[in-house]
Amino acid sequence: MCASKAEETEFKSLLSLVPGMYGDNFEKLKTQGTLAFSGWAKGPVKAGKWPAFQMDLQVKDGGFQYPDLPEGVSNVQIALQLENKDGKWQNTRLDLSRLHAEVGKNVADAQVRFSKLYDGEVQGKANAQLKLEDLTRVFPLSDFQLKGLFSLKARAKGRYNATQRPVMEAEVRLANGFVKSKAYPKAIEQLQLEARAENPTGRPADAKIALDKFQFSLDGEKVEGRATFQNAEDWQYAWQLKGQLDLAKLAQIYPSGGATLKGKVKGNIEASGRVSALKTQQYAKLPTSGNIQLQDFYYAHPQNLPSGLGIQAAQASFDPEKISLESMKGNLGKSDFALEGEVRHYLAYLLTGETLKGQLNFQSKKVDLSEWTSTNARGEREAVPLPQAIDFTIQASIAEVLYPKIPVRDFRGMLRLREGTLQMENVRFAALGGAFVMSGQYNPADRYRPRYQFDFDMQNLDIASAHEAFVERKNNLRQNIKGQLSARAQLRGFLGPDLAPLYDENMGGSFSVKIPQAQMKRLSIAQSANKHLKLDDTEEMILRNLDMQATIREGKVYYTPFEFNLNEYRIAMQGNNSLAGVLDLALKIVIPKSKMSPVAEVAIAALTRQKLIGVKEMAIDFLVRGTYPNHEITPLRSDGKEIQVKNEKLKQKIDEKRAERREEMRENMQNLNKSPEEVLADAQTKAAEIRAQALREATQIETEADSLAQTEIAAAASKGKVAREMAERQANMRKKTAYRRAELRRQQGEREAQKTLQNAQLIADRMRQE
């Protein structure tokens, strides 16, 4: 159980917790009054249950005044008690017996009592009246001129549960409102608001909410609207909104966090009906009409949308079933677009949260996918999220798509924007000199590591271009190979900040490649093998009949054994390479006797330890290790062991190298006299150190992520509830990413530890043999 005693302190302590109050001038703020707080809590915190608790808050004669302003807030009186005896939130008792404040000469009073938050007695009332011009005498609003009279009256009494509501009535009014900013010479004038809510019986069917009047005028352009909602059991609605507005003028009066906003909007929309008719799609019972026009619209934000969204012109009309987007032309940064089509279920989407559906045609001359990312407050690039509760089918036609390493032309096909993902079905485009058909899904739920899963059918691709695009390594292949390939692939994994695939252990899938014929010059592996074979025709070669299949898992590409021809030589290959480019391949080269020069016959006879009399062809096995530009190729005997070279001088050099490696092994053991058992024991110690280091680094990653999340949430809390919630969502996504990185570091440590133990076992075994 934890408890706090009722100790008095200054009212200023409570003000420091109010969003927006704690700023540069807070220490200069003149305050008065006292604050008393006491409470206790007992019990665990778990899903669906709180601890039992009680809290009392008292403010007496509170007030504050900014030093350079003539008036302040005074006579603040608060008496609040919260109590929960069993830990169930529904049974919390709330008693705000007094809330009183005077803003200059304006008075506000409120009382609210809940015997239980759910299925309990409710009683409350509130009254407030405020001249807006008095706000500039109390709060630091020197950049604004305000006028108008705001009033609030409300009372409620009764029970709140699933079938009952309190008897209540409430009214909010704003008369003769006026807002002017120093940043713009024109003012928002004739600002009027009249809204009310009532329920004379407490029955949900008798509930009514009405916006009887809403209007304002800006530089001669007027906006006005009205709305009513009644019967909470089956809401019956009627609303209208009409007017025109210059968004650039509004943005100068109400600037928004460095964003740029401009454009002119004009519309007249009217709708009425019942929610039950919406849900059953009885559109004849839902009279709806209107249109909206947008011209010269532009929006940009330094972090969220730095490239800017511009719409030169757009026009849409409304009926009960759909919004008809008759035309929309614009650009997103360097990407242009033209859009038309229909959006359905928009009323159900707005009123009940149902999925918004649509069928659209999208055309563009150029789309730059690098603009699908944004920059957060820390300067990190992240993918732009896709909207939820939306199901749009989009017929796309794009002349050019700019994508990292793969310029795409003539992109055509069906896209589906659904529940925060972008799905593609049999989309066709041209790239890398060939034709693609692609299906799959892009999911940016993790904005730092968007997930993808795609199936490709590729025909007649340029081999060198495809190698550079997919293998992600610089080489001279473009100059050394000419030909086309066809392939099928199923790939999944994550994308990086530039939306290019990450070649890591999370990439998986399979692929197949066919090359009917290709011309090759100075093929690196062929030339390396020829150092042993001494053939005459490896400078320029013709590749034929390659049909390869492979799988990708755990950071490596595993090849199913396959065959092909180089000139008159038959090649068989199997093995794997890492996605980082490390090779571990086995080759079998079958050489016809007729293709052997006298020098080649001698070299091959020496390698195989066979006489070539009466032989039509010879098969020689090789191991290929290293990387493609820097590899080693070693011939093998028929039993799989490395071939022993007969040349005594060469054999002597090999023996010297082996002696050097044994010496390195002994030096690494630091003691020539250690036994195999001691080597293994030392390896156990080193493996434990590796695991411990990985654990420390993983824990540090998680701790830093937690600390950063707490700092960001605390900083956002001073800006209000919405900012805090957004910060919490973003922090949670970043924590997930960090925790994945930490887990990968633990796994890496375990792999390194296991490798250390395996190497020690090999050393110990060799020592026992010696």
- The range of the structural domain enclosing residue 196 comes to 143-238
> Quick one: 37 and 79 in the same domain?
yes
Q: Residue 469 pLDDT more than 70?
A: yes
637 Cβ contact partners less than 8 Å away, ≥ 6 residues apart: 609, 621, 643
Binned at pLDDT 50, 70 and 90, residue 363 comes out as very high
Residue 219 resides in a domain: yes
Contact 653, 644 (CB under 8 A): no
Q: Amino acid identity, residue 205?
A: A
Q: Supply φ then ψ for residue 66, to 5 degrees.
A: -75, 140
Binned at pLDDT 50, 70 and 90, residue 443 comes out as very high
Say how many C-beta atoms besides its own lie within 10 A of residue 640's C-beta: 9
268-274-275-279 Cα dihedral, nearest 10 degrees: -100
Residue 52 resides in a domain: yes
Q: Residue 658 pLDDT more than 50?
A: no
pLDDT of amino acid 18 = 65
Interval 144-149 mean pLDDT: 93
What does pLDDT average to over the chain?
85
> Quick one: 119 and 157 in the same domain?
no
Residue 456: name the closest of 387, 389, 408 by CA: 408
Binned at pLDDT 50, 70 and 90, residue 672 comes out as very low
Q: Residue 397 pLDDT more than 90?
A: yes
Residue 681 resides in a domain: yes
Tell me whether residue 660 is exposed, middle or buried, using C-beta atoms within 10 angstroms of its C-beta: 0 to 12, 13 to 18, 19 or more: exposed
63-67-69-70 Cα dihedral, nearest 10 degrees: 70
Cα–Cα separations (whole angstroms), residue 453 to 391, 401, 474, 508: 19, 19, 26, 9
Strand segments, DSSP code E, in 115-201 are 120-131, 144-160, 167-181, 187-199
Q: Residue 334 pLDDT more than 90?
A: no
Residue 109 resides in a domain: yes
> Quick one: 93 and 191 in the same domain?
no
pLDDT of amino acid 475 = 47
Binned at pLDDT 50, 70 and 90, residue 296 comes out as very high
Q: Residue 648 pLDDT more than 50?
A: no
> Quick one: 127 and 210 in the same domain?
no
Residue 531 resides in a domain: no
> Quick one: 102 and 193 in the same domain?
no
Q: How many residues does the chain have?
A: 770
pLDDT of amino acid 483 = 92
Binned at pLDDT 50, 70 and 90, residue 725 comes out as low
Q: Alpha helix locations (H) across 597-675? A: 598-608, 648-669
Interval 131-154 mean pLDDT: 92
Interval 495-516 mean pLDDT: 88
SS3 assignment, position 677 = helix
Alpha carbons 635 and 624: distance in angstroms, whole number: 9
Binned at pLDDT 50, 70 and 90, residue 651 comes out as very low
Highest mean pLDDT among 12-26, 550-564, 594-608, 712-726: 550-564
Interval 448-461 mean pLDDT: 93
Q: Residue 653 pLDDT more than 70?
A: no
What is the tens place of the pLDDT at every residue in 125-139?
Answer: 999 999 999 999 988
Q: Amino acid identity, residue 243?
A: G
Q: Residue 313 pLDDT more than 90?
A: yes
pLDDT of amino acid 193 = 96
Alpha carbons 747 and 506: distance in angstroms, whole number: 13
Alpha carbons 29 and 15: distance in angstroms, whole number: 10
Binned at pLDDT 50, 70 and 90, residue 218 comes out as very high
Q: Which segment of 597-601, 725-729, 752-756 scores lowest on mean pLDDT?
A: 725-729
Binned at pLDDT 50, 70 and 90, residue 548 comes out as very high
565 Cβ contact partners less than 8 Å away, ≥ 6 residues apart: 542, 543, 544, 545, 571
Residue 319: name the closest of 343, 351, 340 by CA: 343
Residue 583 resides in a domain: no
Residue 548: name the closest of 521, 532, 572, 582 by CA: 572
DSSP string, 453-490: EEEEEEEEEEHHHHHHHHH----SHHHHEEEEEEEEEE
Q: Residue 657 pLDDT more than 90?
A: no
Alpha carbons 214 and 227: distance in angstroms, whole number: 9
pLDDT of amino acid 222 = 95
> Quick one: 21 and 113 in the same domain?
yes
Q: Which segment of 172-176, 464-468, 721-725 scores lowest on mean pLDDT?
A: 721-725
> Quick one: 115 and 218 in the same domain?
no
Strand partners, 208: 198, 230
Residue 462 resides in a domain: no
Say how many C-beta atoms besides its own lie within 10 A of residue 455's C-beta: 16
The single residue listed with the structure tokens 């011939």 is 635
Q: Residue 467 pLDDT more than 50?
A: yes
> Quick one: 120 and 6 in the same domain?
yes
> Quick one: 150 and 214 in the same domain?
yes
pLDDT of amino acid 88 = 86
pLDDT of amino acid 372 = 66
DSSP string, 219-243: TTEEEEEEEEEE-TTS-EEEEEEEE
Six-digit token pair at 35?
Answer: 């604050």
Residue 209 resides in a domain: yes
Contact 482, 518 (CB under 8 A): yes
Q: Write down which residue in 205, 222, 238 finishes a domain.
A: 238
Binned at pLDDT 50, 70 and 90, residue 639 comes out as very low
Q: Which segment of 259-263, 271-275, 404-408, 685-689 scores lowest on mean pLDDT?
A: 404-408
What is the tens place of the pLDDT at every residue in 244-270?
Answer: 999 988 888 877 767 889 999 999 999
Strand partners, 494: 451
> Quick one: 155 and 100 in the same domain?
no
Q: Which segment of 56-70, 129-143, 305-319, 712-726 scores lowest on mean pLDDT?
A: 712-726
pLDDT of amino acid 661 = 44
> Quick one: 83 and 147 in the same domain?
no
pLDDT of amino acid 216 = 95
pLDDT of amino acid 664 = 45
Q: Residue 528 pLDDT more than 90?
A: no
Count of the separate structural domains present in the chain: 3
Tell me whether residue 353 is exposed, middle or buried, using C-beta atoms within 10 angstroms of its C-beta: 0 to 12, 13 to 18, 19 or more: exposed
CB crowding 368-387: b at 16 or more within 10 Å, else e: eebbbbbeeeeeeebbeebe
> Quick one: 20 and 97 in the same domain?
yes
Q: Which segment of 184-188, 421-425, 510-514, 585-589 scores lowest on mean pLDDT?
A: 184-188
Alpha carbons 225 and 635: distance in angstroms, whole number: 85
Sign of CA dihedral 463, 465, 470, 474: positive
Binned at pLDDT 50, 70 and 90, residue 22 comes out as low
Strand segments, DSSP code E, in 303-450 are 305-318, 322-332, 335-344, 356-364, 367-368, 373-375, 381-383, 390-402, 408-418, 421-431, 434-443
The single residue listed with the structure tokens 């001129």 is 145
Q: Residue 671 pLDDT more than 60?
A: no
152 or 685: whose pLDDT is higher?
152
pLDDT of amino acid 713 = 80
Binned at pLDDT 50, 70 and 90, residue 649 comes out as very low
Six-digit token pair at 18?
Answer: 């109010």
Q: Write down which residue in 238, 266, 296 finishes a domain.
A: 238
What is the tens place of the pLDDT at every residue in 156-212?
Answer: 999 988 889 999 999 999 999 999 988 788 899 999 999 999 999 999 999 999 999
Q: Write down which residue in 184, 208, 238 finishes a domain.
A: 238
CA atoms in the 13 A half-sphere facing the CB of 730 = 21
pLDDT of amino acid 48 = 61
